Amino acid sequence: MRISKTVTVAGLLLVSLLGASAAQADDMLGSYVARMSERDHQASDGYALDSAAQIVRQDRANWHKFHRRDRDDQGDEWFESNDQRADLQRMLGRPGAMSASTKRAIVNGEPLIQVDVYENSVRVSILED
């Protein structure tokens, strides 16, 4: 019985360490701040965007491709191309990238957001609603 508990504890420790190691592999690359203005709520061809991920992606297209920048917007070095912005939108769709309240604030308003960029993920938070 004692060996079994020791093996179980050792196994749990190993799993815990492996999980921590995997989490650390997603190193932070940096952050940027952007205002989700009315212009970010519309696609390049004029139709209304209906998801927070689309709006954040459009903000980066407006910054890099169309040079339509809001006063509060900052640049970034990660989402310059259309393919990189498609990756951004995919990462924004993953669990943990944005809370439900953050998504609502982006879709229904013009909040100031911070986007934390990691090697394999992004996280969005509201700085000012």
Assigned domain for 21 exists? no
Residue ranges making up the domain that contains 100: 27-128
Q: How confident is the model at residue 58 (pLDDT cuts 50, 70, 90)?
A: very high
Assigned domain for 90 exists? yes
Assigned domain for 8 exists? no
d(CA 105, CA 124): 11
Summarised one tens digit per residue, pLDDT across range 2-38 is: 555 544 444 444 545 555 445 558 999 999 999 999 9
Assigned domain for 5 exists? no
Q: Which of 52, 30, 35 is nearest to 113 (CA)?
A: 35
Assigned domain for 60 exists? yes
d(CA 117, CA 56): 13
Assigned domain for 56 exists? yes
d(CA 8, CA 95): 30
Domains in the chain, number:
1
Assigned domain for 3 exists? no
Summarised one tens digit per residue, pLDDT across range 78-124 is: 999 999 999 999 999 999 999 999 999 999 999 999 999 999 999 99
Q: Which of 61, 102, 107, 104 is nearest to 115 (CA)?
A: 102
CB neighbours (10 Å) of residue 22? 9
Assigned domain for 2 exists? no
* Six token digits for residue 20: 């921590």
